[in-house]
Amino acid sequence: MGHGGFIITFSAVLIGWMLLNSDILAHFGRAFDPYPYIFLNLLLSTVAAIQAPVIMMSQNRQSAKDRLAASLDYETNLRAELDILRVHHKIDHLVLARLDAIEAKVDALAGLGTDGLAKSAPDA
């Protein structure tokens, strides 16, 4: 039974308890917990006293799981960042190699251009 089912069942039991002790059994003079519902309050207080530590233990377990998940997320993010840095480094090397190749071609073309100008220049 999920959260909704529990709430509906618990509410039905409480309303049934009150109706039983206020109307049905009170009509015959056999109400075992009349209007201020002292016994019902005692039962609800007992349930709350038992629930509180259970909820606290559950929250502690959940916070431990959350800390572990956060630690694993941090490690994953760190690995991803290192991988990205490696890819950037490789791309930087490729770009530099390409620039060197282009620079060499430009220098070669510039050398041809100056040699060509020197050869084609008329002797004065």
Q: What is the DSSP letter of 123?
A: P
Q: Beta-carbon neighbour count of residue 25 at 10 Å? A: 15
Are the C-beta atoms of 63 and 57 separated by less than 8 Å? no
- 3-state DSSP call for residue 57? helix
pLDDT at 21: 86
Read off the pLDDT band of 122 (50, 70, 90): low
Left (φ > 0), alpha (ψ -120 to 50) or beta: where does 121 sit?
A: beta
User: Is the pLDDT assigned to residue 73 strictly greater than 70?
Assistant: yes
pLDDT tens by residue, 17-45: 998 988 888 888 888 888 889 999 999 99
Are the C-beta atoms of 36 and 16 separated by less than 8 Å? no
Mean pLDDT of 42-70: 93
What pTM, to 2 d.p., does this model score? 0.51
